[in-house]
């Protein structure tokens, strides 16, 4: 699993694994920040802190280190549990059909950063989450699962973020479960889920 600072998806998945709800062996968690290291290690899972700089060279070096850790484990799935970094094209291709992302929006609406802010400006009545395979085109990979939750005009951006986190966790867990159960077929950029 790849993570950044926000832990709600990681906490949820680790809890489901510990409870036996997800039959998976999590070989490692890689974070570009160290804040989720303690909870990961508390579950007996190795945590690797790989800091990312802002310049292209340091990002490339960081992604090379991430790829080395991931490829050594040869996982069935690479879960971007709110990783908040854009995978380089070569990793998108190398991990095609295995890299799974949770996007905090009901795609194709509100692609990229700050989708709850975008949704608030538009006055939407539903916010959602999309679990999809990662491709080189940002937030455009084949969709595995989506879900929504109702919001209203009185909700602030923090309210929308809080509600959205709930739906993100469930949507990612469902999509990952279906992937692990080999229930997802990808054809022509779309999925069929059995």
Tell me, what's the pLDDT at 108?
Answer: 78
pLDDT in tens, 58-95: 999 999 999 999 999 999 999 999 999 999 999 999 99
Packing angle of the helix pair 157-180, 8-18 (nearest 10 deg) = 40
- Would you say residue 173 has pLDDT above 90? yes
pLDDT in tens, 42-54: 999 999 999 999 9
Locate 91 and state its tokens: 């990793």
| Domain assignment of residue 52, given as a range | 2-193
Active-site annotation, residues: 139
Tell me, what's the pLDDT at 20?
Answer: 96
- Would you say residue 5 has pLDDT above 90? yes
Dihedral of alpha carbons 63, 69, 74, 75, sign? negative
Q: What is the CATH number of the domain that holds 152?
A: 3.40.50.170
Give the pLDDT band of residue 115 (cuts 50, 70, 90).
Answer: confident
Are 14 and 39 spatial neighbours (Cβ–Cβ below 8 Å)? yes
Tell me, what's the pLDDT at 110?
Answer: 84
Are 100 and 133 spatial neighbours (Cβ–Cβ below 8 Å)? yes
Q: Could you list the beta-strand ranges (E) of the chain.
A: 2-3, 29-31, 47-49, 78-80, 99-103, 126-133, 143-150, 184-187, 190-193
| Spatial CA neighbour of 10 closest among 85, 182, 35, 164 | 35
The total of structural domains in the chain comes to: 1
């Amino acid at each position: 699993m790849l993570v950044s600072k926000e832990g709600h998806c990681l906490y949820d998945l680790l809890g489901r694994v510990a409870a036996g709800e997800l039959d998976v062996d999590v070989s490692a968690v890689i974070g570009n920040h160290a804040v989720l290291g303690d909870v990961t290690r508390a579950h007996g899972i190795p945590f690797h802190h790989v800091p990312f700089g802002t310049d292209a060279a340091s990002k490339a070096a960081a992604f090379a280190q991430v790829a080395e850790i991931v490829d050594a484990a040869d996982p069935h799935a690479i879960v971007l549990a709110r990783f908040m970094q854009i995978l380089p094209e070569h990793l998108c291709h190398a991990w095609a059909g295995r890299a799974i992302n949770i996007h905090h929006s009901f795609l194709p609406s509100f692609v990229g950063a700050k989708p709850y802010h975008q949704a608030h400006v538009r006055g939407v009545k539903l916010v959602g989450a999309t679990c999809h395979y990662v491709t080189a085109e940002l937030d455009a990979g084949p969709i595995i699962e989506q879900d929504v939750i109702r919001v209203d005009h009185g909700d602030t951006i923090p309210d929308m973020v809080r509600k959205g986190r709930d739906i993100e966790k469930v949507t990612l867990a469902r999509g990952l479960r279906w992937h692990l159960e080999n229930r997802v077929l990808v054809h022509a950029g779309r999925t069929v889920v059995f």
